[in-house]
């Protein structure tokens, strides 16, 4: 880890850093800002997640759909007593905008940052927009680390006053192509200054174990905290979609089978004869099984050496986080004194 | 070379408005090679405009001519009389050709018949692919001769994003993942170490971000003066 710690031994002293440094199995969640100016929705979601996560990612126009800014929403999350991890993508801002936003974020009390390249705008609701990509995620990691450890801007100029200090995160996609390169790309992110890593969704434990074996052989788990990404499935259709349509996500057939078995009581009823109550009950059965699968995955991930925690992505389903964390035996969340 | 494609005829007709004497000007260089605006295409476009005008009862006189290079004054000067006889010029050159005509003939209205699309090459008969973004600071020496600026959807400099699958870019399965290509090539040549080095933020000031660009070669200017 970087040596540029404060006198208290922490780089930044965020709750996430403290929990990880104390050796606890960390839990991060995700809070997606609304496609509106509704601050109340942020407060509502924060209340659901509070106490169940050590920190929550605030997404930055995720999937290139315009939403409340991550720093704006993060400010409300701070007010609600929950710790945000600000996501910052390189799609919408050049290096000037990124840095000035980060100065503001720090001044507003944000201490964790996840550096992302960002989804291409062609996936979102403004596909004709111009993209930026002035810098990439690795260069962003380096930029933010240099802000904290050397108190300099990307230009090399020194801060005129207190520097912005963030606990720096980066993403990893263990199963994206070319897979042989993925551990090296992770190494590159860590060398650039990443303190913690959140991975893409993991459903295939044996495949992830192979990846982690390589990661450990390179000593990377000792240089950054690696949080495995998990997420509850809502239906067999969602599982199939992830398997077939989303690059870099492996969903084993046995997971899809489990989801299918959950709806066995309704399997023999012809589609047109399913009542609204049937569909509701079936959906609930799927969600329950999705949560159970997620708990099982976390329990298996806990056994993989080098996994420092989990990042739970329950997108637009924040209510699932509490039963998952509780089911995995991870409640109450630790409180680490300074 | 510069790759271009023709604008839809409807759009061209709209650009021509009610001007009567139309001169279609083809270009004998890049757009001839990519079958968008050479002599053959200029004749076809002229015929199409003629026919459409007739169908719509718009009085119109359409002629066509093709110069060797629309982007050089000397070739444009060869057709200055035809240009002067026309009410409007429909250029089938790239965007440079259109502007060269506008600049050389300040009193003449010129409209584009092509969309200039990219700098690239044909990879098979009838298929052209972008290869260069003219960023002004070539990185091909560190990426094994495959350009991530032009060919990666996000112009990444430090390896593939998570959207690379089976050699394709997630934004469109017709697009090769440039970083998969780079990885494969460096792997074949035993030079993967090059990918481990962190590439710093790119200097985009040599690209369009530095404003309109200009190259001045004093050695050539002086030589020209001496002649």
Last residue of a domain, one of B69, B92, B118: B118
* Residues B6 and B112 both lie in one domain: yes
Read off the tokens for A138.
């690795």
CA A249 to chain centre: 15
Question: Which residue is closest to A124 within chain B, CA to CA?
Answer: B171
Closest-CA residue to B9 (of B54, B59, B45): B45
CA–CA separation, A11 vs A58, rounded Å? 21
CB contact under 8 A, B156 and A136: yes
CB contact under 8 A, A177 and B177: yes
Is B156 in the A-facing interface, judged by CB distances under 8 Å? yes
ipTM of the modeled complex: 0.93
* Residues B26 and B110 both lie in one domain: yes
Residues from chain B contacting residue A120 (CB–CB below 8 Å): 153-154, 163, 170-171
CA–CA separation, A114 vs A70, rounded Å? 11
Residues from chain B contacting residue A64 (CB–CB below 8 Å): none
Per-residue pLDDT at A3: 46
User: How confident is the model over B26-54, as pLDDT tens digits?
Assistant: 999 999 999 999 999 999 999 999 999 99
* Residues B107 and B138 both lie in one domain: no
CA–CA separation, B121 vs B132, rounded Å? 10
Residue B11 lies in a domain: yes
Question: Which residue is closest to B200 within chain A, CA to CA?
Answer: A139
Per-residue pLDDT at B222: 75
CB contact under 8 A, A135 and B154: no
CB contact under 8 A, A181 and B195: yes
Contacts of A20 (CB under 8 A, 6+ apart): A26, A196, A225, A308, A309
* Residues B112 and B190 both lie in one domain: no
* Residues B32 and B95 both lie in one domain: yes
- Which range of residues forms the domain containing residue B15? 2-118
* Residues B197 and B113 both lie in one domain: no
CA–CA separation, A296 vs A232, rounded Å? 11
- Test the B interface: residue of A63, A124, A133 with most B CBs within 10 Å: A133
Of B156, B171, B177, the CB nearest to A122: B171
Dihedral sign computed on CA atoms, order A122, A123, A128, A133: negative
The three-point CA angle A127-A133-A136 to 5° equals 130
Residue B224 lies in a domain: no
Residue pairs between chains A and B whose CB atoms are closer than 8 Å = 96
Of A90, A142, A154, the CB nearest to B198: A142
Residues 71-90 (B) with a CB less than 8 A from some CB of A: none
Per-residue pLDDT at B224: 64
3-state SS of B122-156? EEECCEEEEEECCCCCCCCCCCCCCCHHHHCCCCC
Last residue of a domain, one of B118, B143, B170: B118
CB contact under 8 A, A133 and B156: yes
Residues from chain A contacting residue B162 (CB–CB below 8 Å): 171, 173, 176, 200, 247-248
* Bond before A332 cis per omega within 30 degrees: yes
CB contact under 8 A, A178 and B184: yes
CB contact under 8 A, B204 and A178: no
* Residues B111 and B59 both lie in one domain: yes
* Residues B100 and B157 both lie in one domain: no
* Residues B90 and B18 both lie in one domain: yes
Residue B221 lies in a domain: no
Per-residue pLDDT at A104: 98
Read off the tokens for A87.
């996501």
Supply φ then ψ for residue B222, to 5 degrees.
-65, -45
Angle between helices A276-302 and A205-217 (to 10 degrees): 30
- The domain spanning residue B97 has which CATH number? 3.40.50.2300
CA–CA separation, A50 vs B114, rounded Å? 58
Per-residue pLDDT at A1: 41
Residues from chain B contacting residue A181 (CB–CB below 8 Å): 159-160, 183, 192, 195
Of B165, B179, B184, the CB nearest to A247: B165
Q: What's the gap in Å between the CA of A135 and the closest CA on chain B?
A: 6
Is B208 in the A-facing interface, judged by CB distances under 8 Å? no
User: Mean pLDDT, 10 residues at a time, over chain A (338 residues)?
Assistant: 69 98 98 97 98 98 97 98 98 98 98 97 96 97 98 98 97 96 97 98 98 98 98 97 94 97 93 93 97 98 98 95 98 93
CB contact under 8 A, A178 and B164: yes
- List the strands of the sheet with B164-165, edge to edge: B164-165, B168-169, B172-176
Beta-sheet pairing, A55-58 with A26-31: parallel
Question: Which residue is closest to B201 within chain A, CA to CA?
Answer: A135
In tens digits, what is the pLDDT along chain B, a chain of 227 residues?
999 999 999 999 999 999 999 999 999 999 999 999 999 999 999 999 999 999 999 999 999 999 999 999 999 999 999 999 999 999 999 999 999 999 999 999 999 999 999 999 999 999 999 999 999 999 999 999 999 999 999 999 999 999 999 999 999 999 999 999 999 999 999 999 999 999 999 999 999 999 999 999 998 987 666 66
Residues from chain A contacting residue B148 (CB–CB below 8 Å): none
Residue B114 lies in a domain: yes
Per-residue pLDDT at B227: 60
* Residues B71 and B110 both lie in one domain: yes
Residues 247-286 (A) with a CB less than 8 A from some CB of B: 247-248
CATH architecture type of domain A15-327: Alpha-Beta Barrel (3.20)
Contacts of B68 (CB under 8 A, 6+ apart): B27, B28, B29, B75
Residues from chain A contacting residue B174 (CB–CB below 8 Å): none
* Residues B20 and B77 both lie in one domain: yes
* Residues B148 and B82 both lie in one domain: no
- Test the B interface: residue of A120, A130, A136, A218 with most B CBs within 10 Å: A136
Radius of gyration of chain B (CA): 22
Residues from chain B contacting residue A176 (CB–CB below 8 Å): 160-165
């Amino acid at each position: 880890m970087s040596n540029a710690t404060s006198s208290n031994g922490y780089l930044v002293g965020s709750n996430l850093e403290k929990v990880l440094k104390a050796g606890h199995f960390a839990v991060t969640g995700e809070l997606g800002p609304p496609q509106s100016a509704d601050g109340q929705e942020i407060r509502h979601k924060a209340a659901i997640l509070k106490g169940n996560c050590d920190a929550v990612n605030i997404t930055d126009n995720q999937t290139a759909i315009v939403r409340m800014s991550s720093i704006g929403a993060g400010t409300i999350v701070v007010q609600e007593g929950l710790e945000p991890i600000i996501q910052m993508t390189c799609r919408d801002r050049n290096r000037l905008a990124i840095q000035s936003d980060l100065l503001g974020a720090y001044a507003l009390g944000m201490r964790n940052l996840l550096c992302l390249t960002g989804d291409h705008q062609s996936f979102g609701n403004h596909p004709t927009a111009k993209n930026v990509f002035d810098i990439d995620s690795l260069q962003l990691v380096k930029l933010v680390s240099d802000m904290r450890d050397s108190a300099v801007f990307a230009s090399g100029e020194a801060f005129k006053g207190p520097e912005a200090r963030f606990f720096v995160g980066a993403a990893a996609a263990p199963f994206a192509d070319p897979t042989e390169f993925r551990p090296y790309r992770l190494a590159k992110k860590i060398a650039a200054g990443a303190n913690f890593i959140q991975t893409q969704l993991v459903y295939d434990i044996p495949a992830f174990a192979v990846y982690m074996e390589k990661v450990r052989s390179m000593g990377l788990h000792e240089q950054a905290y690696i949080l495995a990404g998990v997420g509850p499935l809502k239906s067999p259709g969602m599982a199939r979609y992830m398997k077939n349509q989303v690059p870099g996500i492996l969903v084993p057939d046995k997971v899809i089978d489990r989801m299918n078995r959950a709806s066995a009581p309704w399997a023999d009823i012809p589609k047109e004869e399913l009542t609204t109550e049937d569909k509701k009950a079936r959906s609930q059965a799927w969600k329950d099984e999705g949560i159970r699968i997620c708990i099982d995955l976390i329990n298996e991930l806990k056994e993989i050496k080098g996994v420092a925690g989990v990042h739970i992505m329950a997108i637009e389903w924040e209510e699932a986080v509490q039963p998952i964390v509780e089911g995995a035996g991870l409640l109450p969340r630790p409180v680490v004194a300074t | 070379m510069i790759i271009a494609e023709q604008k839809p005829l409807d759009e061209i007709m709209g650009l021509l408005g009610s001007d009567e004497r139309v001169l279609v000007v083809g270009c004998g260089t890049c757009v001839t090679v990519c079958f968008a605006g050479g002599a053959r295409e200029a004749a076809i476009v002229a015929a199409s405009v003629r026919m459409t005008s007739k169908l719509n009862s718009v009085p119109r006189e359409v002629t066509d001519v093709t110069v060797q290079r629309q982007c050089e004054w000397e070739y444009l000067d060869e057709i200055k009389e035809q240009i002067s006889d026309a009410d409007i010029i429909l250029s089938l050159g790239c965007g440079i050709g259109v502007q060269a005509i506008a600049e050389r003939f300040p009193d003449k209205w010129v409209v584009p018949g092509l969309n200039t699309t990219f700098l690239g090459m044909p990879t098979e008969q009838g298929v052209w692919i972008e290869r260069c973004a003219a960023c002004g600071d070539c990185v091909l020496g560190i990426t094994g001769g495959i350009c991530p600026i032009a060919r990666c959807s996000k112009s990444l400099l430090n390896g593939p994003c998570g959207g690379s699958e089976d050699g394709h870019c997630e934004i469109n399965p017709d697009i090769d993942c440039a970083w998969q290509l780079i990885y494969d090539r460096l792997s074949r040549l035993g030079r993967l170490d090059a990918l481990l080095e962190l590439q710093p933020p790119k200097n985009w000031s040599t690209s369009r971000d530095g404003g309109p660009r200009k190259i001045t070669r004093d050695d050539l200017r002086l030589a020209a003066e001496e002649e």
